[in-house]
Amino acid sequence: MKPTKVTNHIRALRFAHDEMTQAELGEHIGMTRQTVIAIEQGRYAPSLETAFLIAKVFNVPLDEVFQYTEGEQP
């Protein structure tokens, strides 16, 4: 069971941005690599501020990074 219904495309976006590592993304947003992994895997829903920071790192709107799904998790 995943504790959040928030899904994301962070992994794809990282690869589209020069194969940015999880540690590098973590440095950009002030989080640990483990937290980035947890966000990517849907085990942790970041705060709104962190979500905006992630979108800003990839220079895309928030809803291109995160989606809210009521149904089955991908």
Task: Count CB atoms within 10 A of the CB of residue 48.
Answer: 10
Residue 7 interacts with other proteins (CB under 8 A)? no
Using CB under 8 A, count the residues that bind other proteins. Answer: 18
Q: Stretches 14-22, 28-36, 51-59, 64-72: which one binds other proteins (CB under 8 A)?
A: 28-36
Tokens of 6: 């928030």
Answer yes or no: are the C-beta atoms of 69 and 5 closer than 8 Å.
Answer: yes
Give the footprint of other proteins on residues 30-69 (CB under 8 A): 30-35, 38, 42-44, 46-47, 50
Does 6 bind other proteins (CB under 8 A)? Our answer is no
| Burial category of 30 from C-beta neighbours within 10 Å (exposed 0-12, middle 13-18, buried 19 and up) | exposed
Q: Minimum CB separation from other proteins for residue 65, in Å?
A: 17
Q: Closest Cα to residue 56, out of 17, 15, 23? A: 17
Q: Which residues bind other proteins (CB under 8 A)?
A: 1-4, 26, 30-35, 38, 42-44, 46-47, 50
